[in-house]
Structure 1
Amino acid sequence: MRGLPRRIVAQFAVDRRVLALAFARMADGIGNSFLIIVIPLYVASGIVRGATFGLEEAMVIGIILSLFGFLNSSFQPLTGRLSDRFGKRKPFILIGLGGLAATNLAYVVAESYLSLIVIRGLQGVSVAFIIPASIALVNELATTEDRGGNMGVYNTFRLIGFGAGPVAAGAVVNLGPYTLPSDVAIVGIPADVSISGFDAAFYVAAVAAMIGYALVTVLITDPDATKANAGADLSIPIRDRSGKHLLDPIFTLGVASLFMAAAIALFATIQPQVNARLEQGSTWFGLQFAAFILAQVLLQTPIGRACDYYGRRPFIVGGMALLVPTTLVQGFIFGSEVMFLARLGQGIAGAMVFAPSLALAGDLAGEGESGSKLSVLTMAFGFGIAIGPLSSGALVGYGFYAPFVFGAALAALGTVLVYTQVEETLETTRSIPGRSDE
């Protein structure tokens, strides 16, 4: 590497604490995404009893799953602000992971709809402690020259965990029950006792959260600057205080993240309509759904590193612009293969927006403000993921194309907002790779 510019070498260096945090989020992501598959199966199995409050079982399942996202997103600004106020990230991450492990275990004894709702709600609050503090810690461990790459690495591992969980969850449930041999002892489980596939899945989710807890405990430390700058100005303005633009750039990025997430999530809840239109089975739908995550996993890190080199804004604007046609075309497609490519294109667009947006917001966040500022983006993304499925369910009755026209319009508006309200944060674009670093 002697002949490479120092800046290029720095791009490929990732702080070991960022890697540790990325692995911890991958572990808890596996456990948490397990439940997306397991909870509906658990409810449908007949094990869960009790009052449904006059609602259909399918509606109760929807409430259980959506409550997590709603509480998670709602509490993120509060926990992000508190982590800034106290100048600590690690304790907040540990509180969240500990809560996640405990609530995963609680499912083993949950046998009523009300208990499932309470547990899932507590999980949403627990994860709200993890996300803002984690993103803020990655931001503070990075520098302007490697912030995008670090954000990309962090998000890549998180997405790997989130994508692997549902795949493994079905197998764990279907292969049960499991009988422990007499020479194996697990806390709370006597030897030679049969464990159902559902309980095994809950134990796996809890162990995954505990692994994340152990990694953070041993390998993560708060930067000195975080505590030194605790209690900085934590307000989140809507108007641009500099007077250059109408809207604050971080607020604008939050709005764009909400629009992006909503456009991406339109696909999730209209599986019957998609399969009927394309005359395909659930396997093709699964592949199309996974195409977005695949693109994210493959591209988050290289795009993050590239935005450290060429600037944040070109990738964000380009990604939002690419989101318009890749969303719109899905409403007019009649082939499974073309739908897969469109979803892959959406994934590329998302990868171009997400890590560079976090990096740009991190550049703008002052010392001790990362938790508050970056939680705007993570909260907005969470609400977008919730709004997208609701929108598609409401609009698909007007025609198959309607949800996707709506999503493309949101993406177009987001493109205009970013283009007009957000400026580049890197002082200069980097030199072309291979040139000497003067």
Structure 2
Amino acid sequence: MRDLAGRVIAGFTVDRRVLALSFARMADGVGNSFLIIVIPLYVASDLVSGATFGLGESMIIGVILSIFGFLNSSFQPLTGRFSDRVGKRKAFILVGLGGLTITNLAYVVAESYVSLLVIRGLQGISVAFIIPTSVALVNELSTTGARGGSMGVYNTFRLVGFGAGPVVAGAVVNAGPYAIGGLSIDGFDAAFYVAAITAALSSLLVTALITDPASTQANAGADLSIDVFDSSGTHLFDPIFTLGVASLFMATAIALFATIQPQVNARLDQGSGWFGLQFAAFIFAQVLLQTPIGRACDVYGRRPFVVGGMVLLIPTTLVQGLVWTPEAMFAARLFQGIAGAMVFAPALALAGDLAGEGESGSKLSVLTMAFGFGIAIGPLSSGALIGFGFPVPFAFGTLLAVLGAIMVYTQIEETLETTAPVPVVGND
């Protein structure tokens, strides 16, 4: 029996370990998102030097930020599958958090573009140990009737941390140097120390509060193959593969915004404060809507939300290339966040419904890997396409959103067997 000795949130029960893992991911999310803001500032400062390999500043920033996503996504299928094989999740999460703690501290002594690239790459590998095993653990601690809600809670807390980081990162850097114990610490080093502390705190939470469910070890070593085409012949593509492709397209579209801050600010005649708000608007919508949408997909089905979210992604991506005011860009990013919220938790819940016992790490890593690749491709795409005109990167993202919407509409079937409201359950 699954352990459902949980806490009741918004009318449904969440396993205590899901809540603990959510808090842990919130903590390390703060530190990781810190770096999204701090690294571009650090690269642009006079503290970093060395070979640029003929690349401009925007492309260097894009490469450093993107190497994280490429290595993270490349290693996720391996770590997800290996955790299925050995029937352990907690150990993998702790290895990843330990790696994050060490690499966050390493930035303090990094003074060249190459060293930043190496450190960010090692962070990507570290996070590859965390993401698929965390999502697999949430899946294994949830019943079918509460899976969407659990995924929503997990994503909400994770995104609270991810959204909080950029809000305060710039302030931490600008408020430096700091005098602590007779030592002077500049703003950049302070930011790197904060990132390291949050990763260490997350490790403590996982160590103290997380245990692997018995079913994970009992089903270790199951068939872990990933299909591209639908073996049943009902559709062309396997549904989990389809969700992975849609996640790739969606993540690419939402990540276009991250590395073109100078061009956005110039076009909209705004400062970095507005850009930070626009960046955070997407996260704000996610935080507000992940849990209610996750719960709703437990009642009304997964497919309507996934399809609806991909359709909404189309206009909300396109309009970002056409607006001329900070307020309009903020609204566009906010509604793009709504689109993302409609896809995230329901897609993970749908894939979790399809994953058999002992397969969660392998199956769900398809979605997390694809999303990570999209987060890496987006900044590189916008950096490469912005030279052809401001609307071009967003037109590219819109095309991907159209293709993703077509795929989920034609290749995905509903997995929830009942649309009856799921009652609150107690200890099982």
In the TM superposition, residue 218 of structure 1 has moved relative to its aligned partner by 0.6
Partner amino acid, structure 2, of 1:235:
S
Instruction: Tell me the CA shift for residue 69 of structure 1.
Output: 1.3
Task: Map 1:19-418; keep pairs closer than 5 Å.
Answer: 19-53=19-53, 55-56=55-56, 59-181=59-181, 192-418=182-408
State whether residues 160 and 287 of structure 2, in contact with CA within 8 Å, keep that contact through their aligned partners in structure 1: yes
C-alpha RMSD of matched pairs (Å): 2.2
CA distance 1:198–1:230, shift in 2 (3 Å):
same
SS in structure 1 at match of 2:420:
coil
Contact 1:86–1:230, Cα closer than 8 Å, also in 2: yes
8 Å CA contact 2:167–2:280 kept in 1: the answer is: no
**Identity among equivalent pairs (%):** 79
* Structure 1: distance between partners of 2:300 and 2:161: 29
Greater mean deviation of Cα atoms: 385-394 or 43-52: 43-52
1:265-288: per-residue Cα shift (whole Å, max 9, x none)?
222333344344434443333322
Residue type of the alignment partner of 2:356: G
Shift in Å, 1:341: 1.8
User: Is this contact kept in 2: 1:133–1:371, CA < 8 A?
Assistant: yes
- 1:335-381 per-residue CA deviation (whole Å, 9 max, x = no partner) reads 43233222211111100001100000000001111111111111111
Are 1:11 and 1:145, in contact at CA under 8 Å, matched by a contact in 2?
A: no
Which piece of structure 1 moves more, 116-125 or 308-317?
Answer: 116-125
Contact persistence 2:66–2:380 (CA under 8 A)? no
1:20-67 CA deviation, whole Å, 9 max, x = no partner? 101101111111122222223334443334444555555444332221
Pair 396,58 (structure 1): closer, same or farther in 2 beyond 3 Å: closer
Structure 1 portions without partners, runs of 5+: 1-7, 182-191
Match of 1:242, SS? coil
Per the alignment, do residues 54 and 416 of structure 1 end up closer, same or farther by CA in structure 2, a change over 3 Å counting? closer
198-207 or 223-232: bigger deviation = 198-207
TM-score by length of 2: 0.91
* Segment drifting more, 317-326 vs 218-227: 317-326
Contact 1:11 1:305 in 2 (8 A): no
Contact kept? 1:328, 1:405, Cα under 8 Å: yes
Q: Which amino acid aligns with 1:159?
A: L
1:78 is aligned with what amino acid?
L
Q: Deviations over 1:84-127 (max 9, x none)?
A: 11110000000000111111122223333333222221111000
Q: Partners in 2 of 1:110 and 1:396 — Cα distance?
A: 29
Question: Is the 8 Å Cα contact of residues 11 and 308 (structure 1) preserved in structure 2?
Answer: no
Q: 394-403 vs 90-99, which deviates more?
A: 394-403
User: Contact conserved, 2:242 with 2:411, CA < 8 A, in 1?
Assistant: yes
Per-residue CA deviation, residues 127-150 of structure 1 (Å, 9 max, x unaligned), is: 000000000000000110111111
C-alpha distance in structure 2 between counterparts of 1:180 and 1:275, whole Å: 35
Q: Distance in 2 between matches of 1:100 and 1:258?
A: 24
For the residue of structure 2 that corresponds to 1:14, the secondary structure is strand
User: Counterpart amino acid of 1:381?
Assistant: F
Alignment check: 8 A CA contact 1:240 1:249 kept? yes
Q: For the structure 1 residues 289 and 196, does the alpha-carbon distance in structure 2 shift closer, same or farther, using more than 3 Å as the test?
A: closer
Structure 2 Cα separation of the partners of residues 55 and 325 of structure 1: 33
Comparing 390-399 with 72-81, which one deviates more in the overlay?
390-399
TM (norm. structure 1) is: 0.89
Structure 2: how far apart are the matches of 1:292 and 1:50?
Answer: 35
Q: Check whether the contact 1:34–1:205 (CA below 8 A) recurs between aligned residues.
A: yes
